[in-house]
Structure 1
Amino acid sequence: MFEVGDKVMYPMYGAGVIQAIQEKEILGKKQYYYMIHMPVVQLEVMIPVRKASDLGIRPVADPMTLDEILSQSAKEELDSSVKWNQRYRIYLEKIKTGNIQDEAEVIRDLAYRSKNKNLNFAERGVLNQAKQLFISELVLAKEITEIQAAHLLDQMTGKE
């Protein structure tokens, strides 16, 4: 169970801070909810405490883990014979896991691919979503600004 002040990652939404744990009655059912503030996307969410692990809520990665991930070099992209819609599904599933390493792989793979070929609309969307999730986690874990986090991500992808 998380506590007020804990920094957490909510897959597909981003990183946030638990502002409160409150009991609420919704549709006649009382239960406790995490009230999470997500500063990067300026979003407030309520997550039932008992469903947090099912939803993939996890602690934000520690700064050392993030540094290791940022220092890893780009891998080759997926087999070029894989169709774009299959790649899209693979990348989207990786993002849905909430695993920071999977997010980084999606970013590296698509950034590598974009250097050689134009990404289609769906792939650009997945890349942007993965970047936003990763940046939100960097901001909270390293206590830096969004701009600084984006800069670190650009260094990882070789954009600088």
Structure 2
Amino acid sequence: MTTVKRAFFRTGDRVVLPPYGIGVVSGTCQRPVAGAIQVYYQVDFPNTASRAFVPVDAPQSTGLRAALTAADMPGLLQRLQSSQTLNLPRQWAARHRRVTEILVGGDPYEIATLTCELRRWNMERGLPDLDRQAFRRAIRLLEQEVRGLEDPCAQDVQRLLNHVWNETPN
């Protein structure tokens, strides 16, 4: 007797696969791996030809999570407007390692805090090139999650991110 597991994600669900960003579950598929058939979510990334296959049995092992919804926007906006700091290391190598961990981890609230911290650094003394790239990447990752949400708070988040993006030097 075969037991069919109920999928946590359904076709059409918006999901985030760090560090790639927002994707859409387009269904499930079966693939042979080491002589056994495994079931995978097929995640497609809009505006690209990229596709990922995530094990249905362990999506958390890849960091796959549901994308933020309109209900999450007040918390995200609050985080973006807060004065919470990360106390990033001053030494470049240690700072780069920490920033990369945050971006790859994909937690939107940590990314929002990172965005605030890098914005503060940018306003105080400007950012070196790699930090500026990380700053822009953090903003893009947050924009992807907010894009398409029809909610006044989501629009406030988008306006704030646009403002912060336009503050950064080219």
Which sections of structure 1, spanning at least 5 residues, go unmatched? none
Partner residue of 2:25 out of 18, 24, 28 = 18
Q: Deviations over 1:28-80 (max 9, x none)?
A: 44211111122255532222223311111111112132233224425365558
In terms of Rg, which structure is larger? 2
> What residue in structure 1 maps to residue 10 of structure 2?
3
Partner Cα distance (1:94, 1:58) in 2 = 15
State the AA in 1 paired with 2:18: P
2:41 aligns with 34
Q: What TM-score, normalized by structure 1, do the two folds share?
A: 0.79
Q: How many residues align?
A: 156
Runs of 5+ unmatched residues, structure 2: 1-7
- Structure 1 residues 55 and 76 mapped into 2: Cα distance closer, same or farther (>3 Å)? same
2:76 is paired with a residue whose SS is helix
Match of 2:75 in 1: 68
Identity of aligned residues (%): 23
Runs of 4+ in structure 1 deviating by more than 3 angstroms, as ranges, are 26-29, 76-81, 148-152, 155-159
What SS does structure 2 have at the residue aligned with 1:95? helix
Question: Which stretch shifts more, 103-112 or 45-54?
Answer: 45-54
Q: CA deviation at 1:25?
A: 2.4
Other structure's SS at 1:103 match: helix
Q: Which residue of 2 aligns with 1:98?
A: 106
**Scaled by the length of structure 2, what TM-score is found?**
0.75
Task: Sort the Cα spacing of 1:157 and 1:85 in 2 relative to 1 into closer, same or farther, 3 A.
Answer: same
Equivalent residues of 1:4, 1:20 under 8 A apart: yes
AA aligned opposite 2:102: K
Secondary structure in 2 matching 1:82: coil
What is the one-letter code of the residue matched to 1:23?
Q
| Deviation for aligned residue 1:87 | 1.9
Kept after mapping to 2: 8 A contact 1:17/1:36: yes
Matches within 5 A, 1:51-62: 51-62=58-69
After TM superposition, the structure 1 stretch with the greater mean CA deviation from structure 2, 124-133 or 79-88, is 79-88
Could you say if the C-alpha distance between residues 158 and 20 of structure 1 is closer, same or farther in structure 2, counting changes exceeding 3 Å? same
Residues 107-153 of structure 1 deviation map (CA, whole Å, 9 limit, x = unaligned): 1111221122221222122212222211111125x159xxx775441
Q: For residue 4 of structure 2, what is the aligned residue in structure 1? A: none
CA 1:113–1:40: 2 relative to 1, 3 Å: farther
Q: 1:81 to 1:19 in 2, by over 3 A?
A: closer
* CA distance 1:66–1:126, shift in 2 (3 Å): same
Aligned with residue 85 of structure 1, among 93, 104, 113 = 93
